[in-house]
Structure 1
Amino acid sequence: MSTEIDVRSPRRLNHLKLAGIAALLAAAAIVGSGITSRIHSRSEVADWTRAQAIPTVSVVQPRAPVSAQQLVLPGRLAAYINAPIYARVSGYLHAWYADIGTHVKAGQVLGMIDTPDLDQQLQQARADLQNAEANEKLAATTAKRWTLMLSQDSVSQQEADEKAGDLAAKQATVAAQQANVARLEALESFKRIAAPFDGIVTARDTDVGALIDAGGGNRPQLFTVSDAHQLRVYVSVPQSEAASIRTGMSATLTVPERPGMTFDAHLVDTDDAITPSSGTLLVQLAVDNHRGLLIPGEYTEVHFSLPASRRALEVPASALIFSDEGLQVATVDSGGHATLKHVAIATDLGTQVIIGSGLDRADRVIDNPPDSLVDGDAVHVAAAKNPGNDTRATEGSNPGPGEHTHG
């Protein structure tokens, strides 16, 4: 039986343990390195995602309007003088001599009225005047005789004074009758309906045989005569532009039926009051119409050239933000964050708008701002190109393909 012992077996076991521990440590190192790499990659992805979430925007610099501000408003043309003609005497229309569209001269007869009642009153007044004149002559003769007899002491002073007083009364009666005849003769002259000035008959609201009542106001007029050699233009100017309106300033008119034609007008006056119901200032202009191309009562567009306000700034219409909080634009501050500002439009020029308030000349306005942009959001500003096509780097990353800026 052998009694020898293998003393090397425990050493082999120790070596195996050490090898296993080393393998475990190596595996742990590999796993730890992988986890660390994955965490780092995930962090980089998160940072990249956050960076990509920041929008890249193009900015524009507000500028003063390069030309006078154009203000276009609707207007209404009216005849410079428009006179409805009423009857001053009652009767029946005997005849009319001018229809609508007739050019008439001042004093030209438009119509005649038959007034049988007035004719009889005038005849009676003339007869009363003759009677009064006859009584005056008799009273004058009697007073003269009694004055002569008074000088001969044939009659008393009282009787002579009575005859002189009767003469004075008869003279007053004659004067009253003369005034009555003159009044009726003046009314007789109104049987002739005449044009008050040179113009055009724009209305004839009566006909032969029509019963005519004297007066005006709520009664229908017989004729209407308008002087259209010069026209008035009435325009309601918004209160925001009222301060720019000055007497004597020029304007141009256009009418739909005369495409391509413009008419010069000048501002005559304003009513110097803002109408509460509409918040507008009524403006009156005058336009020459000697060629007769304009018609009273028609619609016109009035073009004013107003001096630009010192505070007015021009920006693209695409920079506007319409929200529940009102009209806004987005600007970029020095830290690369968006700031929303409330603005008011002075004039809409289509692709461009004139901002009346809310912006400063030094502001950088975001053009085509994202719909999700809110106040305080970080943004990247795209690089702008100068006229020499040199790219100048600005804050943030470079713009992507297809991005454009306004400058």
Structure 2
Amino acid sequence: MSSEAMLHPSQKPSKRGLRLTGIAIATVLIAIVVIGLVTRSTQASSLKTWTQEQAIPTVTVVMPAPGKSGPVLDLPGQLQAFIRAPIYAQVSGYLKAWNTDIGTPVKAGQLLGEISTPELDQQLQQAQADLASAKANADLAGVTAKRWQAMLGSDSVAQQDVDQRTADYTAKLAQMKAAQANVDRLHAAKAFARIVAPFDGVVTARDTDVGALINAGGGTGPELFVVSDIHKLRVYVQVPQRYAPSIRPGSVAVLAVPEYPGREFHAKVVATADAVNTASGTTLVQLQVDNTGNQLMPGSFAHVRFALPVDATALRVPASSLIFDNAGLRVATVGEDDKIAFKKVSILSDYGKTVEIGSGLSAGDRVIDSPPDGIKDGDAVKIATDDTVVKPHEKA
């Protein structure tokens, strides 16, 4: 035998070693299989638990609460002059001249125009002549009555004749006074030939011209001029019956007019009709607004905004919490057992992002904001976090 064979003798594995090796390999394989099965089971259980958790919707809730500010009532209004006087003719004739045109500031007693009255002038001359005749007759009757009274003392005339002359004098004196009254009446009528401004203001209309035939109107004929006092204006608004108790004398409002976009004027309520118009269901409210700068025009349209007081008993929720379906208008609330409970509600006022609830909710209800589709009464839900429980006015 060579030396190499002596150094490297052949070694054959024993049966026992092979058995141990097989057992070790089998153990490792079994362990791998068991670990895999356990891992798979754990994952399946976790998946099932996650799936069950995901099946319960997570919702955000809000607590109904009164708003921080009251509603704003925006209504159309009409501006009118503080005082407006249409000027009619009180005598007939022809317009001789007009002295003021539209937009002219005038003072009380200032001449606006003058009427030529030829017929009235003739009547006045005749009345003056009648007065002179009546005065002469009365003077003569008076002298005659005195003479007859003097002769009565000498028993030269009868008492009947004296009484007759005295009565004639009394009658002639009454005729003179009647003639004087007629003259005074015509003088007063002649004074109306001068058309004057009744107060300080502005001429806002002139509906006549030189040479126009003027008929004494007494309110039925055409207006010759219109004089308006516009240093302050009246604002008339029809307020719905529901809001009438909130708008009382002393309340303030903000006016906006088309000719001044973005600008505001402040008015104050001075009177209310305290009666409801049966045709419209509104009550008339009168406001006054200062117009010393003559920026506002009588007769124009205005938006009138009233800031109404906060109703401490009215609760507000986000408009996104409302559900309107076949069951009507409802909100979804979360009960103490974290289950859905639907409540029917009515809207008192709509403010856009929030609504004021008239009935159906209490301050302690947890209202779901933006409720998920498909939820039903009695479904279990999860509330997202305490941080999401906000008041509706904080959300708005």
- TM class, shorter-length: 0.7 to 0.9
Q: 1:243 aligns with which of 234, 238, 245?
A: 245
Residues 63 and 363, structure 2, Cα contact 8 Å, conserved in 1:
yes
Structure 2 counterpart SS, 1:237: strand
1:343 correspondence with 2:346: yes
**Residue aligned with 1:273, SS:** coil
Indicate which of 260, 272, 275 corresponds to 2:274: 272
Distance 2:279 2:347 in 1: 22
Distance 1:325 1:192 in 2: 75
**Alignment match, 1:79:** 81
Which residue is equivalent to 2:60? 58
SS of 2:209's equivalent in the other structure is coil
Q: Aligned partners of 2:74, 2:115: CA distance in 1, in Å?
A: 49
Give the alignment partner of residue 219 of structure 1, picking from 221, 237, 244.
221
Report Cα offsets for 1:330-383 as digits up to 9, x if no partner.
33333412313221223x332223334443212222222346556x35252432
Match of 2:169 among 164, 167, 170: 167
Aligned residue for 1:383? 384
What letter matches 2:173 in structure 1?
Q
Distance 1:213 1:292, change over 3 A: same
Amino acid paired to 1:79? A
Matched-pair contact (CA < 8 Å) for 1:61–1:363: yes
SS at match of 2:59: strand
Q: Distance in 2 between matches of 1:244 and 1:325?
A: 34
Look up the SS of the partner of 1:350 in the other structure: coil
Q: TM-score, normalised by structure 1?
A: 0.78
Out of 261, 264, 280, the position equivalent to 2:263 is: 261
Offset, 1:117: 1.1
Superposed CA deviations along residues 34-57 of structure 1, whole A, max 9, x for unmatched, are xxxxxxx9xx99xx68x8676543
Deviations 1:71-120 (A, max 9, x none): 33222211111111111111111111111111111111111111111111
How far apart are the structure 1 equivalents of 2:326 and 2:195?
64
Task: Map 1:354-393; keep pairs closer than 5 Å.
Answer: 354-370=356-372, 376=377, 378=379, 380-386=381-387
Specify the alignment match of 1:284 in structure 2.
286
> How far has the Cα of 1:329 moved from its partner?
3.4
Q: Tell me the amino acid that sits aligned with residue 194 of structure 2.
A: R
Q: Contact 1:333 / 1:339 at 8 angstroms: preserved in 2?
A: no
SS of the residue 1:128 aligns to = helix
Q: Check the 8 A contact 1:338/1:379 in 2, yes or no.
A: no
Q: Which one-letter code corresponds to 1:340 in the other structure?
A: K
Flag structure 2 segments of 5+ consecutive residues without an equivalent.
Answer: 1-43
Q: Which stretch of structure 1 is more off in the superposition, 133-142 or 247-256?
A: 247-256
Moved more, 364-373 or 305-314: 364-373
**Aligned 8 A contact 1:79 1:227 in 2:** yes
Separation in 1, partners of 2:219, 2:330: 54
Q: Secondary structure at 1:166's aligned position in 2?
A: helix
Structure 2 CA distance for partners of 1:190 and 1:406, relative to 1, 3 Å: closer
Contact 2:332 2:340 in 1 (8 A): no
Aligned residues of 2:347 and 2:355 also touching (Cα < 8 A): no
Task: Provide closer, same or farther for how the CA distance between residues 189 and 322 of structure 1 changes in structure 2, counting only shifts above 3 A.
Answer: farther
Partner of 2:157: 155
1:217–1:344: structure 2 CA closer, same or farther, 3 Å change rule? farther
Q: Considering only aligned residues, what root-mean-square deviation do their CA atoms show, in Å?
A: 2.7
Aligned length: 345
Is the contact between residue 57 and residue 379 of structure 1 (CA under 8 Å) also seen in structure 2?
no
Change (3 A) 1:379 1:74: farther
Contact 1:95 1:208 in 2 (8 A): yes
Q: 1:283 to 1:164 in 2, by over 3 A?
A: same
Pair 322,201 (structure 1): closer, same or farther in 2 beyond 3 Å: farther
Is 2:164 the partner of 1:139? no
